[in-house]
Amino acid sequence: MPRFGDVVIAPGFSGTVSNGFGIIFYVSNTTNPTENQGAPGPGAAGRSPRGPFGTIQAAVNAAVAGRGDVIVVQRGTYSEDVTVDKNGLTILGAVPYGYPDHVIIQGRTVVRGSGISTYNMEFFSNSASRISLKVGDDTTESVSFWAENCSFSSDGTTEPLCGAMVVGGNDHTFKRCRFIDNTNGLAIHSGISSYVSGLTVEDCRFLENTTADITNGSVLPDAGYVGGINYAVRNVLFMRNYFGAGLVTPTDFIIITDGTGTSNGFMAENVFASATNASATITIPSTIEYGPNGTRAGWSTAVPA
């Protein structure tokens, strides 16, 4: 009998009709005797820490779209390509303090569903020619992707082509994430039928990305995708992000090109590891409002010339 103030979780619903109450699936590729979880493996039911799925993809496949299912992933490195195509799915790394480097997907992750949320995860493509996380692809545009307290990083040896890439769609958010040691940190590209619109990047850290921290011009997704209508981005919001240098300073902190004049948005309270907000490291169209933003020279609302 629950006491007053205890958190009560509704029982899982195992049918196929969406009723707003999701169920929890568990994933582990190691055996933790202290939890008596049993031997992990794809053949397990995945409904208990004692019988988890052995792969993240197995849990995604078992989930039901629109039900609000949650996948809880125990710490470990999961060497697999993952396709997330179930709407309304949450993937949660179960680690102390939410430290993302303790739950790693080593492979390419592609989000093809809408309303997908990820927390406390690290995404690493393990390839210099692949993107670690791609939201949307050459056939699908996703809506309302959310990544919080996630890391898009290399292993210190292999530098992914891109930490994360958003391909079309709208209402995407990256909050308190880290983009570290990629060729490009975050790339934005129009999709098969729409611009990227409603992109929020807030309280994130960009460090040691070689070419650009945020770009929308030159990077295309892997798998040969060359589509998209142009490079415009709409309703972007970049707030309280840190664009650092570390051992490697990127060629550009931010480069957003727009030949159509249709981009718009707002950038403020960001800090750049440079002396000025020179156009050599920050390039944005005049339709994106700028300021105040900080550099080593202080805070300024002056748009990069």
Residue 57 inside a domain? The answer is yes
Q: Give the structural domain span for 54.
A: 18-73+93-104
Q: Mind listing the pLDDT tens digit for each residue in 172-220?
A: 999 999 999 999 999 988 777 778 889 999 999 999 999 999 998 656 6
Contact call for residues 248 and 273 (beta carbons, < 8 A)? no
Q: What are phi and psi of 36, to 5 degrees?
A: 50, 45
The answer to whether position 7 is within a domain reads: no
Element at 60 (helix H, strand E): helix 56-62
Query: Are 69 and 186 within one domain?
Result: no
Shared-domain flag, residues 184 and 252: yes
Q: What CA–CA distance (Å, rounded) separates 112 from 90? A: 13
Residue 175: which of 234, 241, 131, 124 has the closest Cα?
241
Residues 117, 43 share a domain: no
- pTM (2 decimals)? 0.88
Domain tally for the chain? 2
Which residues partner with 237 through β-bridges? 200, 266
Q: What is the mean pLDDT of residues 138-157?
A: 91
Residue-wise pLDDT for 32-81, tens only, equals 555 555 566 655 578 888 888 999 999 999 999 999 999 999 999 999 99
Same domain (yes/no): 114, 149 = yes
CATH number for the domain that contains residue 121: 2.160.20.10
> Residue 281: pLDDT above 90?
no
- If one counts every other C-beta atom within 10 angstroms of the C-beta of residue 147, the result is 27
Which pair of tokens denotes residue 290? 């700028």
154 and 288 in one domain? yes
Same domain, 100 and 209: no
Check whether residue 34 and residue 135 sit in a common domain.
no
Closest alpha carbon to 184 in 163, 168, 154? 163
Cα angle 7, 56, 51 (rounded to 5 degrees) comes to 60
Residues shown for the chain? 305
**What's the pLDDT tens digit per position in 215-226?**
986 566 554 454
Determine if residue 50 is left, alpha or beta; phi over 0 gives left, psi from -120 to 50 gives alpha, anything else beta.
Answer: alpha
Same domain assignment for residues 156 and 291: yes
pLDDT of residue 4: 40
Nearest-angstrom CA–CA distance, 26 and 55: 9
Question: Which strand (E) or helix (H) includes residue 139?
Answer: none
State whether 100 and 138 are in the same domain: no
